[in-house]
Amino acid sequence: MSMIEAINDALDVMMARDCAVIVMGEDVGYFGGVFRATAGLQKKYGKTRVFDTPISECGIIGVAVGMGAYGLRPVPEIQFADYIYPGLDQLVSEAARLRYRSAGEFTAPMTVRTPFGGGIFGGQTHSQSPEALFTHVAGLKTVVPSTPYDAKGLLIAAIEDNDPVIFFEPKRLYNGPFNGHYDEPAIPWARHPDSLVPAGHYRVPLGQARIVRAGEAVTVLAYGTMVHVAREVAERQGIDAEVIDLRTLVPLDITTIEASVNKTGKCLIVHEATRTGGFGAELSALVQERCFHALEAPIERVTGFDTPYPHSLEWAYFPGPVRIGEAFARLIAA
């Protein structure tokens, strides 16, 4: 399966298992979503369980909070993560804090799915990676899959989770893994081992990272598209890197991170999002605090630049093989 098919399958599985699961968002109903993630679901489950919404992110999230209070398990879609901001008040002030402020009387068991990340010539408003805005919010869980297998298992786990989850889908990975070499032919998921997706229900637990590639020389902390890019660079440069796909940013799998950095003594953090205040800063601080005595070199962060995401200069902006490769070289030389 491709990642899109895996996401569609996860929604299908959960809608069949639990009649409280509701899918809604802009163009998700009859049309099946602009990325086809909800294709066929309305036909299968009916218009009261899968439906189109007005173009109002504030409304979509706000309504989902109310549905959760009733006892449903809504899975709203925000068409692009770049457009989640009108719904931010409802996410930050309401969904994230409802359990806390009501001492558990009301909860927001919702999963906000939203395509994110660049590498598709999406320009400023179809490429952003706003995960750090959400990891900063107490009460929200933040998930980013990087493979079809994980996408399905993590989405099922997110929907079953009783806390609000922001589920970022790297749209560059929807149809195939992306290794950062934009000038090479695209690879479909069919040839990738992680595209083998079991039928039916399975869960990839939130809060557990995955060691994508074991290694001894340097630890790479990445998520989403950058997992594939960083791994490719390590392999082409022949670096014995341990690549960790975080999968969940909150809650974070600190145990796996610590074990790896304590072993390698070096750490490279890679994300597409802008650098300043990005989630990489939190990761860097955690590694510094918890693995200080094991560190043999300064922690490196390879990220997007602190600019809005450009259109024509996409491949100059994207933290691709050159930027990652030079960071690897510095770490290895240190």
Partner 1 sequence: MTNGNLPRLSLHVPEPPYRPGAQVDFATLKVPPAGMQPRPDETCSAVDTHPLCLDMVRVLGEDHRAHGPWDPGLDAATLIRMLRLMALTRAFDARMVRAQRQGKTSFYMKSTGEEATAVATAMALAEDDMVFPSYRQQGLFIARGYPLVEMVNQIFSNRADKLKGRQLPIMYSAREQSIFSISGNLATQYPQAVGWAMASAIKGDSRIASAFLGEGSSAEGDFHSALTFAAVYNAPVVFNLVNNQWAISSFSGFAGGERTTFAARAIGYGIAGLRIDGNDPLAVFAAVRWAADRARANAGPTLIEHFTYRAEGHSTSDDPGQYRSAAEGTQWPLGDPIDRLMRHLIAIGAWDAGRQAAMDAEVDAQVRAAVRAAEANGTLGHGLHHPFRTMFEDVFETLPWHLVEQSRQAIHERHVKWPEWSDDADVGEGR
Q: Which is nearer to partner 1, 255 or 307 (CB)?
A: 255
With contact defined as beta carbons under 8 Å apart, do 3 and 169 qualify? yes
Q: Given 126, 181, 201, 311, which residue is catalytic?
A: 126
192 is catalytic: no
User: Closest approach of Cβ 99 to partner 1, in Å?
Assistant: 5
Minimum distance of partner 1 from residue 22's CB (angstroms) = 7
Q: Which range binds partner 1 by CB under 8 A, 59-67, 150-158, 295-303, 316-324?
A: 59-67
Per-residue contact string for residues 210-249; x = within reach of partner 1 by CB under 8 A: ----------------------------------------
Is 141 a binding residue for partner 1 by CB under 8 A? The answer is: yes
Q: What is the DSSP letter of 73?
A: E
Task: Tell me how far apart the alpha carbons of residues 177 and 172 are, in angstroms, rounded to a whole number.
Answer: 8
88 binds partner 1 (CB under 8 A): no
Q: What is the DSSP code string of 209-260?
A: -EEEE--SSEEEEE-THHHHHHHHHHHHHT--EEEEE--EEETT-HHHHHHH
- Quick check: 205 binds partner 1 (CB under 8 A)? no
Kindly report the number of other CB atoms within 10 A of residue 58's CB atom: 14
Tell me the one-letter amino acid at 315: W
Give dist(CA 131, CA 26) in Å, integer.
21
Per rule CB under 8 A, count of chain residues that contact partner 1: 48
Q: Report the DSSP beta bridge partners of residue 51.
A: 24
Q: Is 66 a residue that touches partner 1 (CB under 8 A)?
A: yes
Task: Look at residue 143 and give its three-state secondary structure.
Answer: strand
Residues catalogued as catalytic: 126
Q: Which residues bind partner 1 (CB under 8 A)?
A: 22, 48-49, 53-54, 56, 58-59, 61-72, 74, 86, 89-90, 93-94, 97-107, 138-139, 141, 161-163, 207, 250-252, 254
